[in-house]
Amino acid sequence: MRPVQRRQQNLQYGLYLLFMQAVNIGVDKISPATLIGVILQALLYMGLIKVPWNAEDACISAVKIFKYRDWRSFIVSNFEHGSDMHLYYNMVSFILKGTYLEVKYGTPNFVLLIALFSIGCSSMFVFLAYALMQFTGDYGYYTMCAIGFSSVLFALKVLTICEEDDRYRDVGGLRVPSRLSIWVELVLIYLLVPNSSFVGHLGGILVGCLYCYTSVGELIDNLIYMITGVPIIHEEQFYRRRILSFR
């Protein structure tokens, strides 16, 4: 999402909705790292975690990385949000996907996977923005700035789909095969949410695809195993999809 003015101190509606959604799901049912991630991002948005930057200055862009070497935005842009509703939708999605994957992989493995996905999504955003600028000649791609956890969430969505059996999903009232649902959602969000970052969301999908369908995923799994000593075990269909992609 493109950054906007943030951090009014009063309680905003999106924060209230997020709290109510967490209560309805059951705070005790949300995995620990996922819950902590939601709380920290909410506190960061509210300004209760004191940081030496403003949300609107933390956004990531190709020009900030290549020209100004603003490496801070490379990391923190994923965890800032431009509005309370932006935070709400992202955190509800994170609760659902994060809890599922954290239980499946284990908390230490999941935390490391989130960290690697964050780095990967920032890298992919900068690469796509630079490539589009070169391809189209539009300097706007080079300077466009984005914040939010959405790109990481799109990577997690791809991963969740890869772990599940093939089935149909409801996306905006459309019934589509799960393997296509992520692309339909990408287009719908682009059309219906004016401030959304199409390049950021696309980058998240590509990061998820690299993990699920290429040997990059094996390298990441092996790296995480070396650090935690606990292997990431995927469902049979996940390995089947990865094998088929090599043929």
Closest CA to 58 of 172, 145, 170, 183: 145
Amino acid, single-letter form, for residue 82: G
CA distance 54 to 94: 23
Residue 81 a catalytic site member: no
Contact 196, 151 (CB under 8 A): no
Q: Annotated catalytic residue: which of 150, 151, 181, 196?
A: 150
Helices 32-46 & 13-25 angle (0-180, nearest 10): 170
Distance in angstroms between the alpha carbons of the first and the last residue of the chain: 37
CA distance 67 to 239: 40
Residue 150 a catalytic site member: yes
Q: Which residues are the active-site residues?
A: 150, 201
